Amino acid sequence: MIITFVRAIILYILVLIVMRLMGKREIGQLQPFELAISIMIADLASIPMTETGIPITRGIIPILGLLVMHLIISVINLKSIRARELICGKPRILIYRGKIDEKALIKERFTINELEERLRDNSVFNIGDVEYAILETSGQVTVIQKPNKRTTIPEDFNIMPDYEGIPYDLVVDGKVMDDNLKAIGKNYVWLKKQVEKFNMRPEEALIVTFDGKGQIFCQKKEGN
C-alpha cells in the first residue's frame, strides 16, 4: 500500500512537470500532436502507478521520451511553415462573406448543428449575422460578425478613452502582495492608509485591488 502511494506521488510530480514544460495551453487549444502526447503520458503513468510489479522506470523513461519528442516537434513547428501545416493542419474557413462553405463542412466532418453550437459558444445566436467563421487548427471556431452586427466600440464614435492599464491585487486572503506594491510604486504604509478607509487592516482583507485609474476595491474577510 505504501509503495503504491509513493509511486503515485512520484509519477504525479513527474507528469505535472512534463505538462508544465509542454507549455500553457487549455485542453481545447491543444494541437493534435499535443493531445496525442497528453493521452499517452496519462496512459503510461497509470500502469506503473497501480502495478507494483512493474519497475517505475518503465513509466518514467517513456514519459521523458514523449517530452523530448514534443520539444523536437515544437522546434520544427517554429522553424518550418510546411512542417507546421503537415503536423498541425491549416485553418479552414467555414463561412465566407456570410455564405456557408458546404465543401469545407464536409471535409471537416462538420454538421450545420455543430456549426451553430460553435457560434453560440461565441455569443452569436443568428448564423445570418456571421461574416466569417474560421475553424482553427486547435478545433476552436473564430467568428467575425458582419459590420452592422458587431458590438460598437469607442473608436466608432471617435472617442479616445483614458488609459486604464491592468488591475493589481494588493492583498489576497489577508496576504500583502509586496511585488505588486512595488510595481505600482507604493509601499505598505500607503496600503495601510488606503485600507483603513474601509475600517480594516490589510491583513483583515479578503481582497484589495488597485486599477489603472487609481481606484481601490476592498472587501473584508468574513469573521473579521
SS3 90: coil
Average pLDDT over residues 50-68: 81
CATH match of 92-149 with 3.30.240.20:
yes
Residue carrying C-alpha cell 514544460:
21
Q: Which amino acid is at 33?
A: F
Amino acid 1: pLDDT: 64
Residue carrying C-alpha cell 478607509:
197
Amino acid 25: pLDDT: 59
For the chain, what is the mean pLDDT?
Answer: 85
Examine the pLDDT at 27 and tell me if it is beyond 60. no
Amino acid 115: pLDDT: 93
State percent of the chain over pLDDT 70: 95
Amino acid 160: pLDDT: 82
Q: Which of 45-59, 111-125, 145-159, 203-217 has the lowest mean pLDDT?
A: 45-59
How remote is the C-alpha of 52 from its chain's centroid?
36
Question: Domain extents for the chain?
Answer: 2-86, 92-149, 168-220
Q: Residue 224: pLDDT band by 50, 70, 90 thresholds?
A: low
How remote is the C-alpha of 148 from its chain's centroid?
30
What's the helix, strand, coil split of the chain in %, to 5?
Answer: 50, 15, 30
Distance CA 112, CA 119 (A): 11
Residues 6+ away with beta carbon under 8 Å from 145? 124, 129, 130, 131
Examine the pLDDT at 14 and tell me if it is beyond 70. yes
State percent of the chain over pLDDT 90: 41
CATH of domain 168-220: 3.30.240.20
Residue-wise pLDDT for 132-147, tens only, equals: 999 988 788 999 999 8
Amino acid 5: pLDDT: 77
Whole-prediction pTM:
0.63
Residue-wise pLDDT for 90-136, tens only, equals: 899 999 999 999 999 998 888 999 999 999 999 999 999 999 999 98
Query: Do 92-149 and 168-220 come out as alike in CATH topology?
Result: yes
Average pLDDT over residues 177-182: 93
